[in-house]
């Protein structure tokens, strides 16, 4: 709604004033209907006819703001002020236009003039608070917005504004108090409820946040925004059934609510309700064919049911709509690789580099393009996790066959292993705390001469383009320290007769991946029944509770040594694995290390495995010592564990 002061003078006769008021009303009507171009044409004619009338230019400013034409709005408000320099509301709107155009200091000047002319102009103080906060002047922002609170204590939005300032400055306690006050003033203030819920979640007050949303919905049960936020809270807490219920409730309130539909599909996916999830995303795409998130999520579901052709087709649909969609191209590469089309898959896999910074973004050396480097040096750098470093290091000997001068940067924990395994390569270890962007010059100074560079993850593009090319390293390529190996053999001998089997049951940094891959150790009962076996803990991280549960429930001691920590000493950990008779593990870095050492490994796989493993493959093209045991039904590990137990009994 356009603001107009009665004191803006009209220097025209009565007929002109009648025309002026009618035209102004037409402009307001056009704005309310969203017909902004017509409104702009009429206001331009109004300014031409009444060029000396400050209100003409004021209305022009309002129309320009609705069109996001802030520069023109500023010109119009300035002209209005030139004609009527004592009107505070003109300075207020000019200050708002300056703020929306990013001219914050100019905004402060205009707003300050507004409150000089009218010290009780509450909205000007609120705007001063907003702009001051944008400029990082926290104390000024609080001072100005507190004035609006004192002037209008029963306006919930003034309390919300003050809460926003506190929250954005990490003062969650005061922010919480302000949002609660806003709800006290107006129990149906959606903004207050949403903000209070968010700030409670930020303080880990999950129960309080849940109650905040629930109490509000008792008073306003059809609030789609609060219903959605409550569903999001349930989803983030892993309460998927409750999340599903509230997303469905939100959709019943507003069937076209995109976020509720999209998140419902994701929650169904997490519950392995694949057909329902597919239907939800198809409906979303029908509602909005250009909604790329729905297409990407549909492709994700297709991957989960191993419909890789359909997944690729949906990702291609995204790329038809957005040719440079990096995420779609990256995800398509994984789908193509999982179908065994390595030549095409590795080329697409290069798109991952557009989605995150790596060494090549900071170092001045050209990227190797596969050309002759027999007389050149090449720097190889890591990306992703230590498991990926191990897997892609299978290509390092291929590089030494084409260059006599190879430099490899790696995780510091892998340095000794790589030096032993690749004696012709210069190894530089870096800790995870190392930040190349802050230490580029120092890093370059420690390097020998470098001609070209390449990520380790890009090596397969040149050396692993068809499945037979993996065979050269599949039997193992990393070497352990002889003395450490003897140490672990001696330790295992003390345990007594029987096979020495290392186990690992958790993995994945992303919560959904971890949930999908991991198998609670107390479900391993059938395996623990095997006699004449000594189990060895290979699980990284704190797992004392899990081991105690196994001991109490099955009477089994999973042997561990406090001086062995794979998160600290990978060289010792590699020897610990190499000395074993067998490794049984879910998909994590332990599996990659065991496979690279040539240790027999039984891999527990979900129904839809990671892209590194072909869906129908029992063994592994990366590591010949690995045998895969895949779920027959998504989310069900019982059959996998029974098959492993049966095979272990035969082996033993």
Average pLDDT over residues 429-452: 84
Does the pLDDT of residue 9 top 50, yes or no? no
pLDDT tens digits for range 81-98:
999 999 999 999 999 999
Q: What is the pTM of this model?
A: 0.80
Contacts 24+ apart (CB under 8 A), 555-559: 556/528, 558/503, 559/495, 559/534, 559/535
In angstroms, rounded to a whole number, what is the distance separating the alpha carbons of residues 411 and 499? 32
Confidence of residue 343 (pLDDT cuts 50, 70, 90): very high
Q: What is the pLDDT of residue 13?
A: 62
Q: What is the pLDDT of residue 512?
A: 61
Q: What is the pLDDT of residue 472?
A: 87
Does the pLDDT of residue 7 top 60, yes or no? no
Q: Are 580 and 492 in contact (CB under 8 A)?
A: yes
Superfamily of segment(s) 1-118: Tetratricopeptide repeat domain (1.25.40.10)
Reported as type and span, the H/E element at residue 10 is none
Q: Are 600 and 606 in contact (CB under 8 A)?
A: no
Q: Which residues contact 58 (CB under 8 A, 6 or more apart)?
A: 4, 8, 76, 77, 80, 89, 90, 93
pLDDT tens digits for range 592-624:
999 999 999 999 999 999 899 988 889 999 999
Instruction: Say if domain 359-465 classifies as CATH 1.10.3470.
Output: no
pLDDT tens digits for range 397-440:
999 999 999 999 999 999 999 999 999 999 999 877 777 777 78
Per-domain boundaries in the chain? 1-118, 359-465, 482-651
Does the pLDDT of residue 6 top 50, yes or no? no
CB burial of residue 175 (10 Å; 0-12, 13-18, 19+): buried
Does the pLDDT of residue 221 top 80, yes or no? yes
Top pLDDT among 224 and 616 is at: 224
Top pLDDT among 510 and 259 is at: 259
Q: What is the pLDDT of residue 439?
A: 79
Query: What average pLDDT does the structure give for the chain?
Result: 92
Q: What is the pLDDT of residue 1?
A: 34
Top pLDDT among 197 and 14 is at: 197
pLDDT tens digits for range 137-188:
999 999 999 988 888 889 999 899 999 999 988 999 999 999 999 999 999 9
Same fold: 1-118 with 482-651: no
Does the pLDDT of residue 306 top 60, yes or no? yes
Average pLDDT over residues 41-47: 92
Q: What is the pLDDT of residue 564?
A: 87
Average pLDDT over residues 641-650: 94
pLDDT tens digits for range 462-480:
999 999 999 989 899 999 9
> What percent of the chain lies above the pLDDT cut of 90?
78
pLDDT tens digits for range 259-271:
999 999 999 999 9
> How far are the Cα atoms of 235, 586, 589 from residue 507, in angstroms, in the given order?
21, 7, 8
How many CB atoms sit inside 10 A of residue 287's CB?
13
Does the pLDDT of residue 54 top 80, yes or no? yes
Does the pLDDT of residue 442 top 90, yes or no? no
Q: Are 538 and 590 in contact (CB under 8 A)?
A: yes
> How far are the Cα atoms of 108, 154, 361 from residue 92, in angstroms, in the given order?
10, 22, 46
In angstroms, rounded to a whole number, what is the distance separating the alpha carbons of residues 530 and 533? 7
Does the pLDDT of residue 652 top 80, yes or no? no
Q: What angle do CA 183, 185, 190 make, to 5 degrees?
A: 40
Q: What is the pLDDT of residue 363?
A: 86
Confidence of residue 568 (pLDDT cuts 50, 70, 90): confident
Does the pLDDT of residue 637 top 90, yes or no? yes
3-state secondary structure of 453: strand
How far is C-alpha 299 from the geometric centre of its chain's CA atoms? 18
Number of residues written out for the chain: 652
Does the pLDDT of residue 286 top 80, yes or no? yes
The CATH architecture one would assign to domain 482-651 is 3-Layer(aba) Sandwich (3.40)
Among the residue ranges 94-98, 332-336, 551-555, 616-620, the one predicted with the least confidence is 616-620
In angstroms, rounded to a whole number, what is the distance separating the alpha carbons of residues 216 and 194? 10
Helices within 186-291 (DSSP H only): 190-202, 206-219, 224-236, 240-253, 258-270, 274-287
Q: What is the pLDDT of residue 513?
A: 62
């Amino acid at each position: 709604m356009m603001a107009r002061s009665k004191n803006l003078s009209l220097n025209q006769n009565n007929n002109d004033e009648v025309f002026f008021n009618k035209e102004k009303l037409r402009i307001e009507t056009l704005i309310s209907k969203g017909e902004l171009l017509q409104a702009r044409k009429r206001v331009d004619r109004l300014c031409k006819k009444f060029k000396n009338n400050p209100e003409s230019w004021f209305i022009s400013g309002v129309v320009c703001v609705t069109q996001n034409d802030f520069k023109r709005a500023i010109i119009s408000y300035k002209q209005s002020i030139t004609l009527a320099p004592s009107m505070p509301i003109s300075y207020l709107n000019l200050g708002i236009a300056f703020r929306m155009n990013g001219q914050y200091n100019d905004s402060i000047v205009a707003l300050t003039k507004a409150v000089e002319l009218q010290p009780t102009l509450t909205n000007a103080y609120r705007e001063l608070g907003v702009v001051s906060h944008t400029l990082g002047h926290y104390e000024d922002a609080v001072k100005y917005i507190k004035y609006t609170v004192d002037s209008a204590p029963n306006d919930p939005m003034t309390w919300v504004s003050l809460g926003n300032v506190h929250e954005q400055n990490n003062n969650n306690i005061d922010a919480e108090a302000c949002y609660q006050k806003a709800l006290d003033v107006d129990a149906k203030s959606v903004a207050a409820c949403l903000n209070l819920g968010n700030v409670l979640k930020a303080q880990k007050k999950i129960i309080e946040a849940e109650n905040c949303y629930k109490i509000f919905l008792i008073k306003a049960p059809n609030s789609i925004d609060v219903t959605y936020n409550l569903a999001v809270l349930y989803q983030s807490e892993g309460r998927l059934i409750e999340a599903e219920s509230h997303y469905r409730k939100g959709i019943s309130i507003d069937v076209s609510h995109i976020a509720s539909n999209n998140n419902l599909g994701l929650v169904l996916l997490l519950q392995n309700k694949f057909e329902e999830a597919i239907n939800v995303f198809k409906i979303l795409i029908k509602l909005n064919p250009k909604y790329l998130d729905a297409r990407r999520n549909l492709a994700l579901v297709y991957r989960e049911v191993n419909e890789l052709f359909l997944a690729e087709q949906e990702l291609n649909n995204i790329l038809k709509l957005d040719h440079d969609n990096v995420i779609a191209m990256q995800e398509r590469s994984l789908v193509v690789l999982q179908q065994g089309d390595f030549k095409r898959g590795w080329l697409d896999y290069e798109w991952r580099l557009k989605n995150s910074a790596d060494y090549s973004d900071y170092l001045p050396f050209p990227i190797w393009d596969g050309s002759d480097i027999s007389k050149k040096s090449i720097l190889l750098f890591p990306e992703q996790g230590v498991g990926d470093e191990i897997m892609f290091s299978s290509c390092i000997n291929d590089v030494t066959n084409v260059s006599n001068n190879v430099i490899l940067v790696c995780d510091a924990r892998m340095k000794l292993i790589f030096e032993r395994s690749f004696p012709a390569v210069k190894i530089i270890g870096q800790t995870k705390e190392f930040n190349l962007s802050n230490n580029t010059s120092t890093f370059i100074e420690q390097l020998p001469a470098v001609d070209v560079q390449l990520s380790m993850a890009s090596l397969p593009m040149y050396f692993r383009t068809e499945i037979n090319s993996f065979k050269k390293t599949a039997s193992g390529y990393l070497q352990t320290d002889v003395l450490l190996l003897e140490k672990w053999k001696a330790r295992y001998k003390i345990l007594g007769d029987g096979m020495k089997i290392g186990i690992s049951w958790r993995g994945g940094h992303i919560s959904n991946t971890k949930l999908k891959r991991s198998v609670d150790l107390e479900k391993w009962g059938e395996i623990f029944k095997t006699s004449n076996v000594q189990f060895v803990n290979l699980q990284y991280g704190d797992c004392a509770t899990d081991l105690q549960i196994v001991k109490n429930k099955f009477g089994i001691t999973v042997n561990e040594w406090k001086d062995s920590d794979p998160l600290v000493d990978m060289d010792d950990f590699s020897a610990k694995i190499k000395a074993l008779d067998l490794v049984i593990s879910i998909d994590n870095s332990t599996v990659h290390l065991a496979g690279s050492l040539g240790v027999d490994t039984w891999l527990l796989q979900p129904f839809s495995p990671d892209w590194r493993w072909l869906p129908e493959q029992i063994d592994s093209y990366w590591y010949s010592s690995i045998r895969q045991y895949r779920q027959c039904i998504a989310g069900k590990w019982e059959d996998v564990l029974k098959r492993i137990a049966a095979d272990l009994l035969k082996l033993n």
